[in-house]
A and B are shown apart, each in its own frame.
Chain A
Amino acid sequence: MKGAEILIKALEAEGVEYVFGYPGGAIMPVYDALVGSKLKHVLVRHEQAAALAADGYARASGNVGVCMATSGPGATNLLTGIANAYMDSVPMVAITGQVSTTLMGTDAFQEVDIFGMSMSVVKHNFIVRHVSELAKTMHAAFELARSGRPGPVLVDLPKDVAGAELENVEFTPGGMKPMPRPEARQLHIAHDLILASKQPLIYAGGGIRIARASKELRAFVEATGIPVVTTLQGLGAIPANHPLNLGMLGMHGTKTSNYAVQQCDLLICVGARFDDRVTGRLQEFAPHAKVIHMDADPAEIGKLRQVACAIMGDIKVGLNFLHVRPEIEFWVKRCLSNKEKFAWDYNAPFESVYAPKFIRQMSDAAPENTFIACDVGQHQMWVAQHYQFNQPHNHLTSGGLGTMGYGLPAAIGAKLAFPDATVITVSGDGSILMNIQELATLKRYNIPVKIVLFDNKALGMVRQWQELFFAENYSEVDLSDNPDFVKVAEAFGIPSFKVERDDEIPAAIEKMLACEGPVLLHVLIDPKENVWPLVPPGKSNEQMMEAKVV
C-alpha cells in the first residue's frame, strides 16, 4: 500500500465523511488515491476556503474538520483558516503536501516550511518523514485535535513518503482523551461561594458549545436562579428567550449585561477566557467580583484574572454539582428590570432597511435550528445582538481571529454537516469579496446556502471607528465602486435579488427561505449606520457609547 493510500484509509478509519481541499503538485499522490475512496471531496476555489469550510463543518457537527492542500502557496493559503480554528478552539486536521524529503531545504519549487510557519497557530504539527509513521501519526493527529481543548493539527506529507510502499499497515483510530473530573475540593469551594453571594452572575463562553453542555448550563441556571451573560461564542448556550439570559457582554454587548458584570459580586465563568473584547479595560472588569472559573484548559485559569476557585476539566461535572440556590431575589429583580428597560428598539424612523430589524425579522421567520454563518464586521455584531440563537452550534462566527471571508465557506461546511437544516450566511460588502469565489463551490455542488449580503458601500466597522476615534478621517474604507452583486451572483449561476426598503423585508425573507437552491439576497443599508452600544477601546464596560461623538 502506498503512503497516499494509507492516508486515505486512515481518514476513512477516523470516520471522515468530507474533505475540503484543492489539488496541486506535491499532493497529487493523495488525490490519486482519493479516487474510488469513501471520502467525499469538496473542491473549493481557494485553499483558505478549504480550511474555513472544515472549520464550519467542525463547529456545526462537533466532529473533526479535514482540509488539504498542496505545498507552497496551497499550504500558506490554508494558514489563515488554520489560525481561525486555533483561536476559536475548533478541531481540525489539515493535511499539506510537501516536496520530497530529498528536496526539502533546497528552496525547491513550491517549497515552504509550513511546519515552521504553522507552529504558532496549531495545537501541534507533524512532518511524516517515513511511511511507517504515517498511519499512527494520522490517528494521533485526530486524537489530539479532538481531545481536551480542541484545535487544529497539521500533518505535512512529503511527496516521496506519499509514494512509498508499506505492507501490513494497522489502522487504530484515535480516541478522545477523557476529560479530567474537577477536584472535589474546588467544587465545594465554588458551592460555598455561590451560597454566600448576593449578586452572582454566570459568564458563559464558547466552551459550552465545545463541551456540548447547553443542557447542563440551562439546568445549572434554573437550579441556581442566577442570571447569565454570554460571549460572542457563547450565544445560544442558553436560549435567547430564556428569562435569565441577559444577552451578550463586552464591546458590543447589551447594557443589561455589561452593567450586571460591573455590579456582580461573584462571576462564574464557564468556558470563557476573559478576552479583551469581552472585558474592556481588564483592571476595571467586574471590579467587585470574586471569580469561579470552569474550563477544560488549565492554562486559561488565572491567565488574565485571578480566581477564587478553579474548576478544571469536565465542565458538565462542575455544572451538575453546583445546583444550589442562593438568596438573590433582589439582584435578579434588578437585572430583569434593566433587561426590560434597555430592550432593543427596532423602530427605525426611515424607509430604508435597518439591519438590526432585518436580522430580528429573519430570526423570527427562520426555522428552528437554522445555522447562521457570519462574516466579520458590523453585520457580525448585528447578528450577535439581534438573532435569537437557541443552540450555540447554530452560530458560526470568527471570534478570536476575526477573519473576513469566513462566512460563506463556513456555511458550506455547516450545510454539508446538516443537509436538512437551513443555513444562512450573513455577510457584508467588504467580507463577501474575500471569498466570493466560493459561489462557484455552491453552484458546483448545488449547496442550498442562503446569503444575506448587507451592503453599506463601505468597510463599515473600520469606517465606524474612523468616525468615532479618528476624527472622521476616513481612510480607505469607501467601497462605493462595489460590483453589482446581483449580477456577480448570477454570473456564478446563483439566483439573486435586491432589497432596498423596509417594507420589502418580510416578503424578501420569505422568498429567500423558500428558494430550494442557493440564493443571494442583496440588502442595501444606510452607509452611516453604526453598531451600538460600543465600549470604546481601552475603556471600562460601564462606558458604553450610544450615539455619535466627535
Chain B
Amino acid sequence: MKFTVSIRLSNSEGALERVLGRLRARSFDVSSMSAERSADRCFVDARLTIEGLRAPEPLIKQLEKLYDVIQLKVQYTEGANHGRQQQTAGQNEFCLPV
C-alpha cells in the first residue's frame, strides 16, 4: 500500500521527528518527503509518501493523535483505496505556537 500524507504541524521542537517515529515504529517506510516552515514560523507543512504492508488507517489515527498535528490529509495512490482522499483535523486544540 502506498499513500501520501500532507500534514500541517505546529512548529514545535520534535514535531516532525515524532511523525517519523510513529511511521518507523509501525513498520512504514517513507519513500519521499518534503517539509517547509510557514512564513510566520508557526507551522511546518510536510508531505510524505509512505509505503507499507500494513493497513494505513490505524497509522493515520495514530498520527491524528499527535499533539503537534493540526491538519492531516491522506491521498491513497494505490491499493484498494486508490484515489480516495481523507482530511481530518488534529485532536489537540491547545498547541503552543513557538
Q: Which A residues lie at the B interface, using CB under 8 A?
A: 115-116, 119-120, 123-127, 129, 133, 136-137, 140, 143-144, 148, 177, 297-299, 301-303
Q: How far is the CA of A526 from the CA of B26 in the complex (A)?
A: 42
Check if A119 sits within 8 Å of B67, measured CB to CB: no
In the bound complex, CA of A452 to CA of B91 (Å): 44
Bound Cα distance from A148 to B61, whole angstroms: 14
Q: Is the pair A116, B17 in contact by a Cβ cutoff of 8 Å?
A: yes
A140 touches which one: B17, B65, B91, B94 (CB < 8 A)?
B94
Count of A-B contacts with CB under 8 A?
A: 45
When chains A and B are docked, how far (Å) is the Cα of A124 from the Cα of B93? 14
Q: In the complex the two chains form, what is the Cα distance from A125 to B15 in whole Å? A: 10
B83 within 8 A of A: no
Give the interface of B toward A (CB within 8 A): 13-14, 17-18, 21, 25, 57-58, 61-62, 64-67, 91-94, 96
- Which A residue's beta carbon lies closest to that of B22? A120
Residue of B nearest to A156 (CB): B13
**Closest B residue, CB atoms, query A133:** B96
| Contact of A298 (CB < 8 Å), options: B61, B67, B93 | B61
- Having A140-B94, A144-B67, A299-B61, one finds 7 other A-B pairs with CB under 8 Å, namely A119-B14, A119-B17, A124-B67, A144-B92, A177-B93, A301-B61, A302-B57
What are the residues of chain A within 8 A of B67 when measuring CB–CB?
123-124, 144
Q: Are A136 and B96 in contact (CB-based, < 8 A)? A: yes
**A148 cross-chain contacts in B, Cβ below 8 A:** 91
Q: How far is the CA of A126 from the CA of B67 in the complex (A)?
A: 11
User: A133-B96, A148-B91 given as contacts; is B14 within 8 A of A116 (CB)?
Assistant: yes
Cβ-closest chain B residue relative to A124:
B67
> Hey, which chain A residues are within 8 Å of B65, CB to CB?
297-299
Complex formed: what's the CA distance from A91 to B51 in Å?
Answer: 34
Contact residue among B13, B14, B58, B96 (Cβ-Cβ distance under 8 Å from A299): B58
Determine whether the beta carbon of A127 is less than 8 Å from that of B91. Answer: no
Top 4 A-B pairs, shortest CB-CB distance: A299-B61, A124-B67, A303-B58, A299-B62
- How many angstroms from the CA of A124 to the CA of B65 in the assembled complex? 10
A residues within 8 A CB of B58?
A: 299, 302-303
In Å, the complex CA distance between A456 and B21 comes to 41
A125 to B94, CA, bound (A): 14
The interface residues of chain A lying within 8 Å CB-to-CB of B25 are 120
* Cross-chain contact B18 with A119 (CB below 8 angstroms): yes
Of all chain B residues, the one with the shortest Cβ separation from A148 is B91
> A140 contacts B61, CB within 8 Å?
no
Q: Are A140 and B96 in contact (CB under 8 A)?
A: yes
CB<8 Å pairs between A and B, sample of 14: A116-B14, A119-B18, A120-B21, A120-B25, A123-B67, A124-B66, A126-B13, A127-B14, A137-B96, A148-B91, A297-B65, A299-B58, A302-B58, A303-B58
> Which of chain A's residues have a CB closer than 8 A to the CB of B17?
116, 119
B93: chain A residues at CB < 8 Å are 177
- If A143-B94, A299-B64 touch, does A125 touch B57 (CB 8 Å cutoff)? no
Closest chain A residue to B91, Cβ basis: A148
Quick check: B21 and A115 within 8 Å, CB to CB?
no
Task: Tell me the smallest distance from the CB of B13 to a CB of chain A, in Å.
Answer: 5
| CB-defined contacts of A177 to chain B, threshold 8 Å | 93-94
Q: How far is the CA of A124 from the CA of B21 in the complex (A)?
A: 13
For B13, list chain A residues within 8 Å (CB): 115, 126-127, 129
CA–CA, A303 and B58, complex, Å: 6
Hey, which chain A residues are within 8 Å of B66, CB to CB?
124
* Residues A115 and B96 in contact, CB atoms below 8 Å apart: no
Give the chain A neighbours of B91 by CB distance below 8 A: 148, 298
Q: Output the nearest chain B residue to A143 by Cβ-Cβ distance.
A: B94
Are B14 and A115 neighbours in the complex by a CB distance under 8 Å?
yes
Give min CB distance, A64 to chain B, whole Å: 16
Chain A residue with Cβ nearest B58: A303
Residues of A near B96 (CB, < 8 A) are 133, 136-137, 140
B23: shortest Cβ distance to chain A, in Å?
12
Question: How far, in Å, is B15 (CB) from chain A's closest CB?
Answer: 10
User: Complex formed: what's the CA distance from A302 to B21 in Å?
Assistant: 22
- Give the CA-CA distance A120 to B19 in the complex, in Å: 10
In angstroms, Cα B91 to Cα A164, docked, is 33
The distance in angstroms between the C-alpha atoms of A116 and B13, with both chains bound, is: 10
What is the distance, in angstroms, from B57's C-beta to the closest C-beta of chain A? 7
Nearest-neighbour CB distance to chain A for B88, whole angstroms, equals 10
Cβ-closest chain B residue relative to A297: B65
Q: Which residues of B contact A123 (CB under 8 A)?
A: 67
Report Cα–Cα, A125/B61, bound state, in Å: 19
Please report the C-alpha to C-alpha distance between residue A358 and residue B95 in the assembled complex, in whole angstroms.
51
Nearest CB of chain A from residue B27's CB, rounded to whole Å: 14
A133 to B21, CA, bound (A): 25
Q: Could you tell me if A119 and B21 are in contact, using CB atoms closer than 8 angstroms?
A: yes
Q: For the complex, give the distance between the alpha carbons of A116 and B65 in Å.
A: 18
* Min CB–CB distance A152 → chain B (angstroms): 13
CA distance A119 to B66 in the complex (A): 11
- With both beta carbons as reference points, the residue of chain B lying nearest to A136 in the complex is identified as B96
- List, in ascending order, chain B residues with CB within 8 A of A297's CB: 65
Q: In the complex, what distance in Å separates the CA atom of A127 from the CA atom of B18?
A: 14
A115 to B18, CA, bound (A): 11
Assembly CA distance A143 to B17 (angstroms): 23
Which of chain A's residues have a CB closer than 8 A to the CB of B64?
298-299
Find the A residue at minimum CB distance from B62.
A299
